[in-house]
Amino acid sequence: MRRRESFLRSLTARELGPCRPRTPAVDASALSLRASTVALSSHLELTPRGDAVTTLSLEAIDERYLLAGCADASVALYDVADTPSAPPRGPPQPRRPVVQATRRSCRSGHTGAVACVQWFPHDTGAFVSGGYDALVKLWDTNTMSPACDFESAGRVHCVCMSEVASRHNLIAACADGDDREVVLYDPNVGHAAHRLCGHRGVPWALAWHHLVSGGSDGSLRLWDIRKNIRGCLRSFDVHHTFARAGPPRSAAGAGGGRPDATGDAPSLAAAARRLAEPKAHLGGITSVAFSADGSVLLSSGRDQRLRLRPPRARFGGVACAGSRVYFPTADAVRVYDLHSGALLQTLKGHFGEALCAAAAASDHKVFTGGDDCSSRA
């Protein structure tokens, strides 16, 4: 209880103003040296969870608080700040969550696996989450309870908010459903404000510098959220080039394999249009992310490829900090150079598959979660 009260006081102080002095700027060469020697932490270990850690989010203000969403429907918040201490004796003591929301402790929380979490941009007083219970929730960090929630058409795969927007706080979400839409929810009005149509498969991944979505059909689309009918500005193809997107068509007219209104099979022309749709990956797209300055877009898919746009490299399959890409795989976390595509390092620490990653650009601290029910630093 004392740790929770101390955390809430610290959080309130940070919302009202800086509660501690900023750390001095570190020389770029020192940061580069630290990044090249990333290894499993010998002094920071997070308490193992009861189920697989499916998603992580590290707040960008002080890069101190880490959110972890799990397959058992729980959300945990860790304080991962380095605290000066004497040299460790024996194995490190696992750091427990400062606060967590489980099915028992928070009855208004998720009842299905948490698929995605993200901090509210520029403010640690709130965060958003999406789960397999078909709900998108906006949480109040001070009480660790949902302030409002939105019901989607099916299991929520991804939620995100724009980190550069100054005139809105829309929440983009993608979920299962026949409409195959990216839905924009407005917390100010409490319901969906806009829907973006165009994917021929279920959207699985989102990133928002400019809003980009990736779908199970292998398509990667760039959106103009001011429009609806022609909201898709561009679609990427596997060769890293742009293709102008046409207006969205109905599932029947698009040759989606369903009978049309007359009960007949889709026409040959509709099937040809479907095959002509540009695809960014040869399998479903599972993750998209922007570099810190928004100049490079990364996408990974079930074809075991991680692609950069504009094209500079190809990898095997995502957190990005500075010029380094941290890619979780079945046996390790692989570190690539963003510009050359060279494999720089292989990080091993999980006893199972690594599922997610979050990275701090200021000191090259990296956190990963896996299906061995653990988080690593």
Q: Give me the residues paired with residue 139 across strands.
A: 127, 146
Q: Is residue 255 situated within a structural domain?
A: no
For residue 183, being part of any structural domain is answered with yes
Longest dimension (CA), the chain: 77
Q: What is the pLDDT of residue 254?
A: 38
What pLDDT score does 270 carry?
A: 57
pLDDT of res. 276:
56
User: Any idea what the Cα angle at residue 330 is, between residues 329 and 334, rounded to 5°?
Assistant: 30
Q: What is the pLDDT of residue 251?
A: 38
Q: Are strands 343-347 and 156-161 parallel, antiparallel or unpaired?
A: unpaired
In a domain, 265, yes or no: no
Question: How high is the pLDDT of residue 232?
Answer: 86
Neighbours of 247 (CB within 10 A): 10
Percent of the chain with pLDDT over 70: 76
Q: Is residue 4 part of a domain?
A: no
> Using CA atoms, how far apart are residues 330 and 337, in angstroms rounded to an integer?
20
In a domain, 140, yes or no: no
Q: What is the number of structural domains in the chain?
A: 1
Task: For residue 179, give the nearest of 194, 204, 199 by alpha carbon.
Answer: 199
Residues of the chain with pLDDT under 50: 20-24, 242-264, 312-317
User: Residue 221 and residue 212: Cα distance in Å, rounded?
Assistant: 6
141 lies in a domain? no
Residues forming beta bridges with residue 284, ordered by sequence position: none
Per the domain annotation, does 175 fall within a domain?
Answer: yes
Q: What is the pLDDT of residue 249?
A: 42
Q: Provide the residue range defining the domain that includes 215.
A: 158-246+278-311
Give me the pLDDT at residue 243, please. Answer: 44
230-248 pLDDT, tens digit per residue, is 788 888 887 655 444 444 4
In a domain, 100, yes or no: no
- Cβ-proximal residues to 171 (8 Å cutoff; 6+ apart), any chain: 128, 136, 138, 150, 159, 160, 161, 184, 185, 186, 187
Task: Say if CB 211 and CB 292 are below 8 A apart.
Answer: no
Nearest to 347 by CA among 371, 361, 328, 365: 328
CATH of the domain at 163: 2.130.10.10
The CA distance from 244 to 235, in Å, is: 6
Contact 204, 221 (CB under 8 A): no
Q: If residue 75 lies in a helix (H) or strand (E), which one and from where to where?
A: strand 75-79
Residue-averaged pLDDT of the chain: 80
pTM: 0.76
